[in-house]
Amino acid sequence: MEEPAAYGKLGLANLLEMREECLREFQFVDAYRSIKQRENEASLAVLPDLLMELDSLDEETRLLTLIEGVLAANIFDWGSRACVDLYHKGTIIEIYRMSRNKMQRPWRVDDFDVFKERMLGTGDKKKPPHKRALLFVDNSGADIVLGMLPLARELLRRGTEVVLVANSLPALNDVTAMELPDIVAEAAKHCDTLRRAAEAGGLLVDAMINSSHSSKGQSSSVPLMVVENGCGSPCIDLRQVSSELAAAAKDADLIILEGMGRALHTNLNARFKCDALKLAMVKNQRLAEKLIKGNIYDCICKYEPS
């Protein structure tokens, strides 16, 4: 506080990281663990119904519903005061449904139509599916289970390899790379696409769901993989990532950054050599005014072709 510039320019990313380091120093290694487990279980219970709903939609409506689902589920953030207040008023599923019902386009930043054109373009404009997508995931619970996993499933169905990129160490209620294989294994019980992809990506080795399935069509699926990013903060500095992530990024032609920490506080203006989609719900009034001249709970769907 005496010398704010002692370590160079001080931003929110530094403060968030410092907070986690202080907690770890005093043995609070994963302060939100029980909350994360509870929210994962509640979300997994309603996932089969969501997948059935998605499968009943035509391709165009489904893609919009998936992006809406990611934005709506991004409301589950224990790093936001406004969101924590919401949790005292309703269950995880009630809040998710309310959030989804309020999704009105156009969003504050809305490049969905350009993204849709790249994904579903018709005739001469139809491009082959992406080869590999890196999905930088954010919170546990509805955010990963009802938001990002269904989007990953859609990409897998289109023949795109999917790499779920998650934190190496716990921070707030963010999902970690260690926790993801169990979540994927549970979700895979309700979905053949996820099961085959998880097997192909080596995620179900420890949690083989049903060995009789394992030989069937294993090689025909594109893989679903999990990679740790080398971070223990809600934000991410892409100059400092794990070698594992750097290697996985070599073949990527689509990056999806999700959540305030990774798509707003950091990387909002970062330009990539491949297609990039930045998805977030803004859960802080001051930030909404400053960054997008909008209001709390406004959404960002920013698509930047390579």
Residue pLDDT tens, the chain, 306 long: 888 888 788 888 888 888 999 999 999 999 999 999 999 999 999 999 999 999 999 999 999 999 999 999 998 887 788 877 877 777 777 888 889 888 899 999 999 999 999 999 877 888 999 999 999 999 999 999 999 999 999 999 999 999 999 999 999 999 999 999 999 999 999 999 999 999 999 998 754 545 444 444 445 789 999 999 999 999 999 999 999 999 999 999 999 999 999 999 999 999 999 999 999 999 999 999 999 999 999 999 999 999
Instruction: Give me the phi and psi of 296, to 5 degrees please.
Output: -55, 145
How far apart are the C-alpha atoms of 206 and 178, rounded to whole Å?
A: 12
pTM of the complete model: 0.92
In the chain, at which residue ranges do the beta strands (DSSP E only) sit?
A: 109-110, 132-136, 161-166, 224-228, 254-258, 275-281, 299-304
Say how far residue 88 (Cα) sits from the centre of its chain.
24
Beta partners for 224? 162
Burial class from Cβ neighbours inside 10 Å (0-12, 13-18, 19+) for residue 146 reads buried
Helix residue spans in 138-280 (DSSP H) = 142, 149-157, 180-188, 192-200, 243-249, 260
Q: What's the half-sphere exposure (Cβ side, CA atoms, 13 Å) at 147? A: 35
Beta partners for 255? 134, 276
How far apart are the C-alpha atoms of 223 and 201, rounded to whole Å?
A: 4
Sheet holding 299-304, edge to edge: 109-110, 299-304, 275-281, 254-258, 132-136, 161-166, 224-228
Longest alpha-carbon distance in the chain: 64
Q: What's the half-sphere exposure (Cβ side, CA atoms, 13 Å) at 172? A: 23
Distances (CA, A) of 90 to 87, 98, 114, 280: 6, 10, 35, 22
Preceding amide of 129 cis, omega within 30: no
**What letter represents residue 35's amino acid?**
I
Which helix (H) or strand (E) covers residue 46, if one does? helix 33-55
